[in-house]
Amino acid sequence: MLTKRIIACLDVRDGQVVKGVQFQQLRHAGDPGELARRYNVEGIDEVVVLDITATLESRQALARTINAVAQEIFLPLTVGGGIRSEDDAAAAIDAGADKVSLNTAALRGPELITTLARRYGSQAVIVAIDAKRQGDGFGVFVRSGTTDAARDAVEWARQAESRGAGEILLTSMDRDGTKAGFDCEMTAAVSDAVNIPVIASGGAGTFDHFTDVFTRGRADAALAASIFHYAESSVSDLKRHLRQHGIPVRL
Amino acid sequence: MIALIDYGAGNLTSVRKALTALGADFTVPASTDVCARASGIIVPGVGHFAATAALEGEWLQAIRSAVAGGMPLLGICLGMQWLFDGSDEAPEVRGLGVIHGRIAKLQNDPERRLKVPHVGWNALDFRSSNAPGARTPRLFEDLPSGAQVYFTHSYAAPVTDECVASTAHANTFSSVVERDNVFGVQFHPEKSGSAGLQILRNFLKVQRC
């Protein structure tokens, strides 16, 4: 049986892992290679490296970071943050990424999804959606959450799938870094609307939050950062908890 | 020396990195004549079956004749699918045809929430043979049945006589095949942690001295 995946996210700025609350107040969380090594030993299923500054100067630092992480783990590695063109994606994949995560650039020009899916296969293309509750629905935000894209998250996820995306990484901006739990309603709404896997992100604080997002939220995978970085909880303890609660995981 | 074939289909960097970590002696040949002199051949790959069109002609001939001479061959993901006659994903492209059968699209099952692509960690169910004197398939040395490995694919091989491990999704498919000196794995051993590295190590043991 296909297991539910636990994914660790490394938000990287200038070669170091940082973590904020609701996309603000960044604090230092460690060296990317070291964190990746620890998570691998603990049984993480996948690692995502997000370049959260993505300036031109940080580009070369990013390639070094991808390389450093790829040396440590033999697990799927996704790279995102500032991937705007086919060349940016090729650079990340050449440095050792298996998948790229597109956000702002995909909304601005969805044909980039198709271009990359044709070149690398859909399995290599993740569309990341940062969304907030707006009335009864869920609104999409871009540019690291600073700009309202005036799009509905469910509708955009469907379109991303039809353009060739292989997975959706759905982040609740309301919950990001708060440890208040995943937004299960939003995750279920998107998961029901598409046939590709949905990775839930934003809000992980306790082990029960993961159980919730895999049951009520109908997520295929869950991504977290803070809960793992500061060694508050280990990945292996989380997975044992999930298995006890009937969620299939790799142990 | 292992010949790792580059035909522009994706995961070459990861496979190269895993082989390096295992201390394997390998090369990414620029010309087909290396195939005849290698100790084994690995055909990696990920993505669309149409990408294997780059192997048609010279490479296909060189690999086919090396394999006919007993050269160990490992196909990974798309590389495994290429061992078969062809695929519904790109019917115009011929496979190597050393294992008979056709690659078909995986089924989904919305009611059980089983999606396609099949992405993530799933179990290898070894198909034990009851035949007297049956041996453990060579790729499974020091690996338990039920080992979890990482998959990402939408098409898969049917369960045929060559199937030594199957995996269950909405339908059950061949996740590992073995026939004489030819091996194929539908998952990504280079991305499957310690279980994946063990399978690569087992293939390295099969290579010719």
Closest CA to B63 of B15, B24, B30, B96: B96
B73-76 vs B26-27, strand pairing mode: unpaired
Q: Which residues 6+ apart lie within 8 Å of A239 measured at CB?
A: A6, A43, A249, A250, A251
Residues of chain B scoring pLDDT < 70: 10, 129-134, 209
Question: Is there a contact between B41 and B73 (Cβ–Cβ < 8 Å)?
Answer: yes
**Residue A11 annotated to the active site:** yes
pLDDT tens for chain A, 251 residues long, are: 999 999 999 989 888 888 766 666 667 778 899 989 988 999 999 999 998 875 656 677 788 899 889 988 999 999 998 899 999 999 898 888 999 999 999 999 999 999 999 888 889 999 999 999 999 999 999 887 788 999 999 999 999 999 999 999 999 999 998 899 999 999 999 999 999 999 999 999 999 999 999 999 999 999 998 788 766 678 999 999 999 999 999 98
Question: What is the distance between the alpha carbons of residues A165 and A158, in angstroms, rounded to a whole number?
Answer: 10
φ, ψ (nearest 5 deg) of residue B21: -60, -30
The predicted structure's pLDDT at residue A20: 66
φ, ψ (nearest 5 deg) of residue A132: -130, 150
The predicted structure's pLDDT at residue B165: 96
CA distance A117 to chain B (A): 8
In which element (H, E) is residue A30 found?
Answer: strand A24-30
The predicted structure's pLDDT at residue B133: 65
Amino acid at A247: I
Beta bridge partners of residue A50, listed in sequence order: A11, A80
The predicted structure's pLDDT at residue A136: 92
The predicted structure's pLDDT at residue B135: 75
Tens of pLDDT, residues B129-151: 666 666 788 999 999 999 999 99
**Residue B162 annotated to the active site:** no
Is A218 near chain B, with CB under 8 Å? yes
Amino acid at A20: G
In which element (H, E) is residue A16 found?
Answer: strand A16-21
> For tokens 């005036």, what's the residue?
A150
Question: What is the distance between the alpha carbons of residues B148 and A59, in angstroms, rounded to a whole number?
Answer: 35
Q: Which of B48, B115, B169, B172 to mutate to test the interface with A (most CBs of A within 10 A)?
A: B115
In which element (H, E) is residue A236 found?
Answer: helix A235-244
> For tokens 């107040």, what's the residue?
A25
CA distance A41 to chain B (A): 10
Do A195 and B115 count as a contact with CB atoms less than 8 A apart?
A: yes
Do B153 and A123 count as a contact with CB atoms less than 8 A apart?
A: yes
The predicted structure's pLDDT at residue A58: 65
Angle subtended at Cα B172 by Cα A100 and Cα A248, rounded to the nearest 5 degrees: 60
Domains and CATH numbers, chain A: 5-244 (3.20.20.70)
Do B10 and A76 count as a contact with CB atoms less than 8 A apart?
A: no
Question: Is there a contact between A223 and A201 (Cβ–Cβ < 8 Å)?
Answer: yes
Selecting from 3.40.50.880, 3.40.50.2300, 3.30.2420.10, 3.40.50.720, what CATH number does the domain B2-206 have?
A: 3.40.50.880
The beta-carbon neighbor of B46 closest among A2, A70, A123 is: A123
The predicted structure's pLDDT at residue A231: 63
Closest CA to A106 of A157, A62, A173: A157
Give the three-class secondary structure for B166: strand
φ, ψ (nearest 5 deg) of residue A84: -110, -15
Amino acid at B85: D
Tell me B94's DSSP state.
B
Spatial strand order of the sheet with B73-76 comes to: B26-27, B2-4, B40-43, B73-76, B182-185, B172-179, B163-168, B125-126
Cα torsion angle, A74, B177, B174, B74, sign: positive
pLDDT cut 70: percent of chain B above it: 96
Give the rounded distance of the alpha carbon of A148 from its chain centre.
20
> For tokens 């973590």, what's the residue?
A19
Give the three-class secondary structure for A132: strand
ipTM confidence score: 0.90
> For tokens 């990414």, what's the residue?
B28
CA distance B133 to chain A (A): 31
Closest CA to A15 of A37, A27, A33: A33
- Could you tell me the two tokens for A190? 């998107």
The angle that helices A58-72 and B12-21 make with each other, rounded to 10 degrees, is: 50
- Could you tell me the two tokens for A247? 């969620």
Kindly tell me the burial class for residue B125, based on how many C-beta atoms sit within 10 Å of its own C-beta (0-12, 13-18, 19 or more): middle
Question: Is there a contact between A17 and A10 (Cβ–Cβ < 8 Å)?
Answer: yes
Do A197 and B117 count as a contact with CB atoms less than 8 A apart?
A: yes
What beta strand segments (E) does A166-220 contain?
167-172, 198-201
Tell me A7's DSSP state.
E
The predicted structure's pLDDT at residue B87: 96
Question: Could you tell me the pTM of the whole model?
Answer: 0.93
The secondary structure of A175-189, three-state, reads CCCCCCCCCHHHHHH
Question: Is there a contact between A187 and A198 (Cβ–Cβ < 8 Å)?
Answer: yes
